[in-house]
Structure 1
């Protein structure tokens, strides 16, 4: 069956051929190891970390589970007696790959614009650790961040969760979990191309087949790893797949974005719409011609610069001053 999707941005499309040499559009279960190898090779250049202080922490994990590794970044020379916003950062990787350094290029940009403390979580990965292991690790890290706020120089009234792709899905799930458990109150959620629906029922969830980044088969691979045979069925938790939540009332303001030529486009639009309908606040951007993760893979592209600026401007409005 022929499938159609919006055209890729010309500047981004020119880069796709090179990107596919390293990051193929389709991930099947037998390629999870290769995806992990790509993610494991990701590092932040030392010069980008020159103006931040870093500290590794092992924090208490969920009951009966191992401790969770959390990397904390703070602006160099900041006064610990002046509390800063605190961001819990959750990395991407389709629920099956990645580590606490992935996605920190975004976080470092945000820290330059809005001084903040960033805590990046090394959550357990599927399929070895299926749901609820990843989200429970993230919740344990959030509770630790809130409880250690004074020691870390974090303003507990300005806590936010942020992530891209799988990390965006975990951030959305964490906002739901914190609401429902009466956990640490969140001031905001930053959801970049979030992975939030296992059902593959939207148009965009099946448009890409062997094209772009993270196509329909890749998405099925990620969800099957996290949920096993329950993926797509009736009994999936909204903390695993936030699009399944019956109510989005009482959630913090959200920034949500996606590319127009990516698998997660329609579920991002629907999630923002449901937040509005529930009386919440959301800022939504669908970047024309963007593929999944375009601004990380081609940061110099004009569309990438626009996307990254929009997120930073939202953070300024939320937390600056």
Structure 2
């Protein structure tokens, strides 16, 4: 279907901005932080607090904990923000985390992992793994139930959630009961899937930007671009992983690799629900409350979480909505 008119208006409003790949990481970060003001007011939660834990590098690792209204212990979502392993922050994804906290009735622990290029691969997955284990081990302090743990994230954060699920399976747990993969990065950009060519320009995220992200993230692409902890679709097997929701956008270079990852999960016997959101582009969860279909998509993600937390993981093949 055509680009959603509300999304098109947002794209048109941003045409004057410099392209991400023409900027330094510092300038690109400032540009992404500035768009917070354009987002819709997020859902209200009962409490937000910040914690510092010991990170795997020896430096502190910051978490932002969102608690819903009601009586705990609540289910727990450990969330990793996106934007190419280089950009964004707890603040840029504050709205997404609040919306999921309220919509799913769960504690959300948002992880401020180290960013590239200052901290290239594997710093980000190391931080995310450590944070997940800390949250599981300290769930009672967070008002959460460690037996109802889901890992999740958007874009590069979806990559990190998939990698954390793989590593928890292979490296002694704990075992999450679900993985929320919102338009995830699952593969290296070259040669790239057909959607990389179809949506290379004009829809926000471009092929050139993805190459810029990967160029900053991997210090040694020849060595690391096929490593399953960088490109989880390269894992030898996906058997034994927790149920997944994989969402994609029609106008997104990452669409096909996300759907291919969902298909590989299903072929390995994993319970998978996969939705392609027609008319939308990469990053659409930012616009819940401002773009009608993005609000609907956020409600679907929250509904999937509620089902998984209740022990009823839903499954559907690639559904176009």
**TM-score of the superposition, structure 1-length normalised?**
0.88
- Per-residue Cα deviation, 1:128-169 (whole angstroms, up to 9, x for no partner): 100010110111111110110122221111001111111111
Aligned ranges 1:17-56 → 2 under 5 Å? 17-22=12-17, 26-28=19-21, 30-41=23-34, 48=42, 51-56=45-50
* Alignment partner of 1:158 is 2:151: no
1:3 maps to which residue? none
Partner residue, 1:218: 209
* C-alpha distance after superposition, 1:147-197 (max 9, x if no partner): 101222211110011111111111111111111101211011111111121
Give the aligned CA root-mean-square deviation in angstroms. Answer: 2.4
Which 4+ runs in 1 deviate beyond 6 A?
A: none
Structure 2 residue runs of 5 or longer lacking an equivalent are: 312-321
Aligned partner of 1:272 among 262, 273, 280 = 262
Give yes or no for contact 2:79–2:108 (8 Å, CA) kept in 1: yes
What is the CA deviation profile of residues 69-116 of structure 1, one whole-angstrom value per residue up to 9, with x for unaligned ones?
Answer: 11111125x44xx42111111111211011123323222222223321
Match of 1:122 among 100, 106, 112: 112
Match of 2:8 in 1: 13
Q: How does 1:77-156 map to 2 (within 5 A)?
A: 78-79=70-71, 82-156=72-146
The Cα shift of 1:7 comes to 4.3
Secondary structure at the counterpart of residue 260 of structure 1: strand
Q: Secondary structure at the match of 1:228?
A: coil
Q: Is 1:289 aligned to residue 279 of structure 2?
A: yes
8 Å contact 2:159–2:184 — kept in the other structure?
Answer: yes
Per the alignment, do residues 174 and 29 of structure 1 end up closer, same or farther by CA in structure 2, a change over 3 Å counting?
Answer: farther
Q: Are 1:252 and 2:242 matched, yes or no?
A: yes
Q: What secondary structure does 1:288 align onto?
A: strand
Counterpart in 1 of 2:182?
A: 192
- Structure 1 residue matching 2:306: 3-state secondary structure: helix
TM superposition shift of 1:241? 1.4
Aligned residue pair count: 309
